[in-house]
């Protein structure tokens, strides 16, 4: 049997998974929507990956998780390694583009920038407060304009005179969009303006104060939007590289980290019929009143966290 490694990047909007071989080559991958349930999303993801893998030839020996639900999913899958998104995205990107110096990443509800020197992260920033520079913002505006978000990029490229859209926040951008449409701006110009607004918001907030240097790699779901890519190139004056697997870089990175960890915990894919539940318990053992998160498998607690002192730890395992 050949050893392989599973990496899962689970966020609020989408869940991504890759399986890599001993040479860190992707041999299976999947992208789907989280739909508000990380546990169910991962069950669906695992089923899809299982269909792609020859289980008579490959054995997953290590699992890594990243993303906003990394701790929960790492517990459920008995992961060998659980890492933050910055580390995972940096590792995944440098495995393909070792000379990268700036990583732009825009997802469904958050975005980040990573600055590297000689393959080492030297600075980063994340934005989780305003959605004006994210995929959910573009999706909502596409719906408002009556088009599919997948059509955004091609339509934006037809614009000769992009509309200036206020990019300070979602509320201002939406009201400005309505106003510009009402006074007669062409749809393609408004769409191109929205792409530029996403870039302006990103650079003025997430990228504020950062020394952006080429080579630049753009990833995350929004990197599939060619209108946003062009807007980034127009504003920065640099070529923007987008990999065919740009939406999978976090999952790839944490799969590589699982490989590097040399911690082997064979994974069987048989989690579909297992009942996982999470429950919040408020500890009254001291003035902290910590919320303890307990994870159960078939009604048996397998892990818990959230306590800030030993009183909570004792309580949660009784």
- Fold category of 98-242 in CATH: Nucleotidyltransferase; domain 5 (3.30.420)
Q: Where are the domains of the chain?
A: 2-92+251-261, 98-242, 276-317
Whether the upstream peptide bond of residue 158 has omega within 30° of 0, thus cis, is no
Is the CB of residue 255 less than 8 Å from the CB of residue 5?
yes
For residue 128, what pLDDT is reported?
Answer: 59
Residue 316 confidence (pLDDT): 41
Provide the pLDDT for residue 251. 97
Q: Write down the CATH number for the domain with range 2-92+251-261.
A: 3.30.420.40
Alpha helices in 147-248 (DSSP H): 152-156, 170-182, 187-205, 226-236
Please, is 177 exposed, middle or buried when counting C-beta atoms within 10 Å of its C-beta (0-12, 13-18, 19+)?
Answer: buried
- pLDDT for the residue 169: 65
Kindly report, residue by residue over 193-247, the tens digit of the pLDDT: 888 888 988 898 889 899 999 999 999 888 989 999 999 999 999 999 999 999 9
Helix ranges (H only) for 206-248 are: 226-236
pLDDT (0 to 100) of residue 263: 95
User: Chunked in runs of 10, what are the mean pLDDT values of the chain (318 residues)?
Assistant: 96 92 96 90 95 94 94 92 95 96 88 94 82 72 81 89 77 77 87 88 88 94 91 95 94 97 92 79 81 79 76 52
Domains 2-92+251-261 and 98-242 share a fold: yes
This prediction's pTM: 0.85
Q: Return d(Cα 21, Cα 26) in angstroms, integer.
A: 7
Q: Report the residue count for the chain.
A: 318
Across 144-275, where does the E strand assignment appear? 216-219, 240-241
């Amino acid at each position: 049997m050949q050893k392989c490694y599973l990496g899962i990047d689970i966020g609020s909007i989408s869940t991504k998974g890759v399986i890599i071989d001993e040479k860190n080559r992707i041999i299976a991958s999947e992208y789907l929507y989280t739909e508000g349930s990380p546990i169910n999303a991962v069950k669906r993801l695992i089923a899809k990956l299982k269909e792609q893998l020859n289980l008579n030839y490959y054995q997953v020996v290590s699992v890594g998780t990243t993303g906003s639900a990394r701790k929960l999913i790492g517990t459920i899958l008995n992961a060998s390694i659980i890492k933050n998104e910055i580390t995972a995205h940096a590792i995944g990107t440098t495995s393909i583009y070792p000379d990268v110096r700036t990583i732009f990443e825009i997802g469904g509800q958050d975005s980040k920038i990573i600055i590297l020197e000689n393959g080492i992260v030297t600075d980063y920033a994340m934005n989780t407060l305003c959605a004006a520079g994210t995929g959910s913002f573009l999706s909502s505006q596409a719906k408002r304009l009556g088009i599919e978000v997948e059509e955004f990029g091609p339509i934006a490229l037809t614009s000769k005179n992009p509309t200036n859209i206020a990019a300070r926040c979602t509320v201002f951008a939406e009201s400005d969009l309505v106003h510009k449409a009402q006074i007669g701006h062409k749809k393609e110009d408004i769409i191109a303006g929205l792409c530029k607004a996403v870039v302006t918001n990103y650079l003025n907030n997430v990228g504020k104060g950062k020394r952006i240097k080429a080579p630049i790699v753009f990833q995350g779901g929004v990197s599939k939007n060619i209108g946003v890519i062009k807007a980034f190139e127009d504003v920065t004056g640099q070529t923007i590289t987008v990999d065919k697997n740009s939406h999978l870089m976090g999952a790839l990175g944490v799969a590589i980290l699982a490989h590097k960890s040399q911690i082997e915990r064979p994974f069987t894919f048989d989690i579909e019929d297992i009942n996982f539940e999470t429950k919040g318990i408020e500890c009254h053992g001291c003035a902290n009143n910590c919320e303890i998160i307990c994870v159960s498998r078939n009604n048996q607690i397998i892990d818990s966290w959230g306590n800030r002192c030993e009183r909570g730890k004792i309580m949660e395992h009784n």
